[in-house]
Structure 1
């Protein structure tokens, strides 16, 4: 099922409260809170070496796709187009990292990635190491067919890394094109936007700055914590009555 934006949900909630007056004051909306903890001891050069990425390539650009290997995440969507780009520009790489959720589909992914120049497949990593990889990569990619609210996108924004996301409702709810990230509808458009991002440091800086502000304003883990603490105290008060 396609997701809706927080603003659309709030509009639905407001209309619901108007239709059900006794629900007023009993419904709360709290967006997902985001906290990132990169492992300070993580060795980026060792990671590149293990991933068989040419560290000597001039101006290396790593695009990171974080997803479980299952069809809804569509990890193969960009592989062909990206591989063609890598053959033109050997300094760009696509790294797919995530757990092997669907064994049958995982075999298909491994077989295709093995034949694709410039594309690497990495096993699931501890969260701190993954956040360190995000912090060091050039951009985070989302190519899902359907998405709720992608934690990987929000974490990239929090870590001040650009985001390129497939233009689906769930992604478009948190990524505003050319403001907090870039949205693409085809593999060819992805490559076009990725090349633009690589060649335009001003655009990269603007997206990173706006993304960080967005997460702080709407996805603060402190606000989420405080909201739940207040609700618990209110419930405790009601139980005492």
Structure 2
């Protein structure tokens, strides 16, 4: 069997890229041949490369790419990611294309049951072809860190590409208040600049707080393990998420996570059980202090998070579940 994985912005270090590459690696272990193409970069595609099945990621981008082709794929399935679920599905200018993408798919994959409910409320007629498969976890090799945490510091890490939806400035503004009380706090921002205007704003903030905020930039995904191993807290400040690979990875290391209250984060983090979910800046500061000052809370939540990921986000299960769906589609 050969499966073509079609992802937006695949050659940029984004969450979709991590997800698609992990899925490809898992399918390879099951003797499935895969090929990955990007659906958003300039290319003179007139048809998909030969494959038994096309698996598109991000319903809107995938559909707009298909519109440019001389020959439409048959069969295909679609994975709903973050932006298409939380924004494009309800955008008057994109909604029709998202609907068409989903109607034409033989199967639709979502990361959690709440996402399935959202789609079913909009398109009840496609309920029976929606499948829930949680994101799998990535394994990282043991590596010496290429950057070292300062001794006797409390390290917050925000792994995110810099774009508006990730709300990176919120982390700096919030921790700025905490830094007054705890001057040994440090913040690492890890990820590429994707939106340059937002990048300029973040760089300006960093320059104002360079004694405790560091922009690490893009780190190859295979080396992220060395970042997580040094973190005391991992943050997600996004306005909306699908299901963050970085949060899954951090939790698998037993690191307390502090995340904004959006649907994707709530699908991963149970408040005060496997991490902290905040709504306001004051809550962010309160939960940060609990992690800083209470080792029992920090260790307990970290261990529960680690166990939760091991139980619910197996990459092996993820690959096997996709293969079962592929086989079901091809039998039809």
Interval of TM-score (by shorter of Structure 1 and Structure 2): 0.7 to 0.9
Q: 1:31 maps to what in 2?
A: 134
1:161-176 to structure 2, matched below 5 A, reads 161-176=255-270
1:175-194 to structure 2, matched below 5 A, reads 175-194=269-288
| Residue in structure 1 matching 2:307, options 191, 210, 213 | 213
- Indicate yes or no: 2:153 matched with 1:42: no
Q: CA offset at residue 170 of structure 1?
A: 2.1
- Indicate yes or no: 2:157 matched with 1:64: yes
Pick the structure with more strand per residue. Answer: 2
* Distance (whole Å) between structure 2 residues aligned to residue 128 and residue 169 of structure 1: 27
* Distance (whole Å) between structure 2 residues aligned to residue 63 and residue 151 of structure 1: 17
Deviations 1:42-83 (CA, angstroms, capped at 9, x unpaired)? 23xx513xxxx6x24x3x210100111110000001212312
- The answer as to whether partners of 2:111 and 2:134 remain within 8 angstroms in 1 is no
| Residue in structure 1 matching 2:230, options 126, 136, 140 | 136
SS of equivalent to 2:168: coil
Deviations 1:188-238 (CA, angstroms, capped at 9, x unpaired)? 3212211111111111122112212222222211101111233344455x2
Q: Which runs of no fewer than 5 residues in structure 2 stay unpaired?
A: 1-84, 88-109
Deviations 1:175-194 (CA, angstroms, capped at 9, x unpaired)? 11101100112223212211
Q: CA offset at residue 13 of structure 1?
A: 8.5
* Distance (whole Å) between structure 1 residues aligned to residue 202 and residue 285 of structure 2: 20
- The answer as to whether partners of 2:116 and 2:130 remain within 8 angstroms in 1 is no
- The answer as to whether partners of 1:36 and 1:158 remain within 8 angstroms in 2 is no
Q: 1:2 maps to what in 2?
A: 86
RMSD between superposed Cα atoms in Å: 2.8
- The answer as to whether partners of 1:78 and 1:187 remain within 8 angstroms in 2 is no
Deviations 1:98-133 (CA, angstroms, capped at 9, x unpaired)? 011011211111011110242111110011222210
- Indicate yes or no: 2:240 matched with 1:146: yes
Deviations 1:149-170 (CA, angstroms, capped at 9, x unpaired)? 1111111111211100011222
Aligned length in residues: 225
For normalisation by structure 1, the TM-score amounts to 0.81
* Distance (whole Å) between structure 1 residues aligned to residue 221 and residue 111 of structure 2: 26
* Distance (whole Å) between structure 2 residues aligned to residue 210 and residue 228 of structure 1: 27
- The answer as to whether partners of 1:83 and 1:118 remain within 8 angstroms in 2 is no
* Distance (whole Å) between structure 2 residues aligned to residue 145 and residue 15 of structure 1: 22
SS of equivalent to 1:136: coil
Moved more, 3-12 or 224-233: 3-12
Q: 1:75 maps to what in 2?
A: 168
Q: CA offset at residue 36 of structure 1?
A: 2.6
* Distance (whole Å) between structure 2 residues aligned to residue 13 and residue 70 of structure 1: 26
Q: Which runs of no fewer than 5 residues in structure 1 stay unpaired?
A: none
